[in-house]
A and B are shown apart, each in its own frame.
Chain A
Amino acid sequence: MFHRRLLLLIGVLFLLAGVMVLQLFNLTLVQGARLRVKAEDALSETTLVPTVRGKVMDRKGRLLAVDVPSDDIAVNYRAITGEWAYRRAREVVFNANRQRWSELGYDERERLIEEAEKPFDLQLETLWKTLCAAGGFDRAEMESRKALIIERVQKIAVSVSINQQTMFDDPAQSAIGDVREQRLPHAVLTGVDEKSVARIRQLMVQAKSEPSLEVWQQVSIQPSKTRSYPLETLTVTLDRKAMPSPLRSEEPLTLTVEGVGTHALGILRSVWRADITGRPFGSGEREDKAADLGGYLPGDRTGAWGIEKSMEPLLRGLRGSLTRRLDTQAEEVISPVPGQDVTLTLDIALQARVQAIMDARTGLMKVQEWNSKDLSDNPLRPQLGEPLNGAAVVIDIATGEVLAAVSMPGMPLKTLREDPDKILKDQINRPYINRAVGQAFQPGSTVKPLVLAAAVTDRKIGYNETVDCEGHLLPNNLLKYRCWIFKQYHRTHGPLEGPEAIARSCNIFFYTMGRRLGAQRLVAWYDRFGVGRINGCGLSEEIKGDLPSSADATAPHARGFSVDDAINMGIGQGPIQWTPLQAAGAYATLMRGGIYIAPTFIKSPQDPARKPVSLDLDPKGIEMAKQGLDMAVNAKIGTANHLAMLNNELIITAPGVKAMGKSGTAEPPDLRVDTNDDGRITRDDEVVRKGDHAWFMVVVQGEKSARPQYVIAVVVEYGGMGAAVAGPVANQIILALREEGYF
């Protein structure tokens, strides 16, 4: 029996040995290759080398955005959590009670430590206050920065722990341990000015000899980079001699404008979780991670909007890395790749001038008595003296390059820094929207030249054919589809040829064109002029505006394809909205003889996809449209000729240029904001603005030039009459172009 029992034991021995050999086989031969890489990883240590973000320049090479060296103030993690005070207190208590330490119970020790901790806590408090003063923010901001750092480090610690858990497949085998980040300093102040740095450095030196300052040993100064926007604030002197008479003055007006180009340029912000998951950093150290030295790490900066955002992949560059083999001391260096520079088409001096013109202090973008007859009949209209919002775009016709794109109200960096809510939470004025590309408006009468050219090309009207304006389109309905002249003065235009219809901005003529073309053709034409699609101007804020989709045209009850829609779209109402940039682009297309070039903000690197496309417009139709635009500005009968409310003063007064253009007074829906906070804007929400959008499109050419050179688009949100409100702004922009040497 004994030997049988021994055989049983021998069996168990072999079984256990077998299990061990199997696991050994699994580790060495099955997982061996992976584990060998992992083991050899420990032989190398990688440090990252920061890169430099690319510069952004304007068309004349002026620096708009550049990395400048600066200093960050970093504090050790344990001081940020406050653990430093406890540790120091424990040391003090331990040293004082070294002999009887083991006799002291846990509670007694904790009591002594708590007592000894007070001076250290006080030192920490003084440290934070000093740093707050250096950073120019309050204690609450410091606390939130600290909380962010702690949260981030703990996340790293947890993820390390989870990795370990997965590896061991046993939660009991791992815990949140020390990660490197818990022993490192973390920046709490960035881009600190030299004076503060000098003071902190002095405190750090004193800390070595002065016990009451020893907390400053936890502080370090780290060289870093700040993004600087050197031309964000510019001073502009405006000549007021050519202003409408109430604003006219022999004295020039000198203005300091802030936030020049900020809408288009953008700024940097700290990365969000989505940025990191979208492009995670990979050093290539671990075999399971793809190497992307350009990926994001917590605390990285990325473009928040504008060029900084849309050109992020280009501007960002790649970090370098320095991998040192600890055994052989061999170094492997991957040099950082600096970010590429971007040159914009903007002329920052012109941009500043246009912004100064549109500044409320200048007076043109403020409600004035001569803007409209009935200023006070509706309290929801902007009231006398109230600043108006809007946008202006200047593009170079030959190239489609945007020379200036101003959106009002502006976004001064100082306000963004100090009182961001004033910009980011203003739901009525929405200063954060770049209205030049990111807001669509009903075009109103500004589309009329395009519609005429299209109708002529489609043979919907003969070259000399007239349309009789009887004041209303439908013979038996005096209330629907009326001409503006009928509505206001109960008069009619009578029979009109195309050019004159543009000059007089006759609605009946263009209702008729809309009806003759039909919605499908109109939509197709608008689409070819660049409306209703993203044209790739280089800013991610660009929107496509509004236009019925041609793809839906044959679907039953498709939105925007009824006869009513066609009639409305004939005068730029109904289901069509465009951005000021699209408006300027469409006019430039007309001026190029029907060649579409997508407007752009990027001069270099150039987008290879940007190619001229011909619309095959009838040259005679273009000629008629141009003739109409010319008459509108330069003939007495033109609606864009004079300020009717101001003794018929001419709108375009700039000398030495030939201007033609078109005013527009578009009827938008009322502006509502989400007053009931349900996250949507519906009919239940309160109306905060009523009124018409004022448009003024102008095409200018210098006396020496053989062809039109620049298109200026001006829109004033809920501003009222196009000619009276937007016209003088456009006139000043022509003068600004002249000042900047464009003619």
Chain B
Amino acid sequence: MIFSLHPGWFALAAALVLTVIGIMAIGTASAEYAEVQLRWVPVSLIVMFMVMLVPVKQIGRSSSILLGLCLVLLLILVIPGMPTWLVPPRNGARCWINLHVMNFQPSELTKIAFVLAIAWYLRYRDNYRTLLGMLLPFIFMLLPVAMILKQPDLGMSLLFAPALFAMLVAAGARMSHLSALAGLAVMAVVLNIAIIYTLPNSMQVLKPHQINRIKSMISQAQGDNRYIKDIGYQQDKAMTLIGAGRLEGYGTGQSRTIIAFNRLPESHNDMIFPVIINRWGFIGGVAVIGIYLVFALSFLAVALRSKDPFSKLATVGFAALMFTQAVINIGMTMGLLPITGLTLPFVSYGGSSLLTSYVVVGLVMNFASQRPAIVARPAFEFDNADAIFQ
């Protein structure tokens, strides 16, 4: 049953191809990390297999407990005065709990637990078809998001809303409510940008507020500003290395030299995409984006085939989660989005990240391999069937 044929296999295949590309790219950036990453692959696959064996109902039932546990862990991170042997700060952020075997990032687990819990919560309801009912899960979402933002881990916190949104779309929340919500989000972003760019040609001619800004930055220059500076430096380097890849990339040897001498920070980790493009060029980049598309589409196919409303929603949530993470990571390396610390799923170096990604694949494989229930109410078909089942 586990090994029955279903679209989940496409997702797994895509994940494995991305992992291989990732290890090759990590090897280009820094060889020693590739080896470590390679060791995490069997671990991740074993965990994935174990996840595939857990009954779906049990996953659903324990999802809220899991989320509660995650929230406690997140609380540990944000409570001030935690000993550094337990919560080692890294680059000024407290995202990690030291488990001595490995560093564990509770937010990684939280995003999975969140999707599962929301899917479990929404599965037989229809109150989200009212405005208030739809807003409830969003309000609940603010709890983990706020704690993750406090760490601070902006990148991770950005993943929750799109996943929830996608789940609500799939679950059949009213489009008018959803578009209103989306409109509000867009307006918030636009307002923010408008405040920054009060004047359209501000880049050409320095305006007083920019001059003041520069002045204040000069005073900052005397103090500690490495964090801010890294952002600009990193993105510049990332875009340069991407562009330098041109159509076909440099190939391994030369790419290694170019990357080494351009001193791209986090080149094996958050900044792995520039390494890929530098090595394989535009062609390689299109391939990687295409594979992510295949990955997300096969998830959606799984959701379509599944009869279990919990599985359906969770799978859609995971598809949105993983694809959004990839888009944010790639977007920031190409200068489309501001830099936030976020890994490229399956590709970036990091055991924790790889493991989490394969757990997601395991869950979806699990959902996909369930035998369809014989009698089941077609889930989330609100437009035509409401009368029959009420």
Chain A positions within 8 Å of B, measured between CB atoms, are 1-3, 5-6, 8-10, 13-14, 16-17, 19-21, 23-25, 27-29, 31-36, 38-40, 42-43, 81, 83, 102, 154, 157-158, 161-162, 164-178, 182, 326-327
Contact = CB atoms under 8 A, between A and B. Distances in A.
Contacts of B233: 177
A178 B217 CA distance: 12
B181 to A, nearest CB: 15
Nearest to A33: B246
27 contacts: A1-B382, A2-B170, A2-B381, A5-B169, A6-B170, A10-B300, A17-B289, A17-B293, A20-B330, A20-B334, A23-B334, A27-B334, A31-B243, A32-B243, A32-B246, A35-B242, A36-B244, A39-B240, A39-B241, A161-B217, A170-B338, A171-B196, A173-B232, A174-B231, A177-B228, A178-B229, A326-B261
Given A10-B297, A172-B196, A39 B228 contact: no
Contacts of A175: 217, 220, 225, 228-229, 232
Contacts of B228: 175, 177
Contacts of B334: 20, 23-24, 27
Interface of B: 84, 166, 169-170, 172, 196, 202-203, 206, 210, 213-214, 217-218, 220-222, 225, 228-229, 231-233, 235-236, 239-247, 257-258, 261-263, 277-278, 281-282, 285-286, 289-290, 292-293, 296-297, 300, 303-304, 312, 316, 319-320, 323, 327, 330-331, 334-336, 338-339, 378-384
Given A28-B245, A29-B246, A1 B282 contact: no
Contacts of A168: 232, 235-236, 335
A160 to B, nearest CB: 10
A1 B229 contact: no
Contact of A28 (B247, B263, B300, B378): B247
A176 B281 CA distance: 32
B243 A157 contact: no
A35 B240 CA distance: 5
A9 B316 contact: yes
B218 A176 contact: yes
Contacts of B258: 39-40, 42-43
B236 A164 contact: yes
A154 B221 contact: yes
8 closest A-B pairs (Cβ-Cβ)?
A: A35-B243, A39-B244, A177-B229, A174-B232, A32-B246, A28-B282, A176-B217, A36-B244
B257 A327 contact: yes
A102 B240 contact: no
Contacts, number: 185
A20 B335 CA distance: 10
Given A35-B239, A168-B232, A24 B221 contact: no
A168 B285 CA distance: 21
Nearest to B202: A171
Contact of B203 (A16, A169, A172): A169
A40 B260 CA distance: 11
Contacts of A6: 170, 300, 303-304, 316
A164 B247 contact: no
Contacts of B338: 170, 172-173
Nearest to B209: A171
A27 B261 contact: no
A3 B316 CA distance: 11
Given A5-B169, A17-B293, A166-B203, A24 B285 contact: yes
Contact of B213 (A1, A43, A81, A171): A171
Nearest to B230: A177
B225 A176 contact: yes
Contacts of B229: 174-175, 177-178
Given A28-B247, A39-B241, A20 B203 contact: no
B389 to A, nearest CB: 14
A17 B196 contact: no
A9 B381 CA distance: 16
B330 to A, nearest CB: 5
Contacts of A174: 229, 231-232
Nearest to A7: B300
B214 A27 contact: no
Contacts of B202: 171
B140 to A, nearest CB: 22
Contacts of A10: 297, 300
Contacts of B246: 28-29, 32-33, 36
B104 to A, nearest CB: 22
A167 B169 CA distance: 38
A9 B301 CA distance: 12
A10 B323 CA distance: 11
A20 B327 contact: yes
Given A20-B289, A35-B239, 16 more contacts: A2-B304, A2-B312, A8-B169, A28-B285, A31-B243, A32-B245, A33-B246, A35-B241, A36-B243, A43-B261, A168-B235, A174-B232, A175-B229, A177-B221, A177-B228, A177-B233
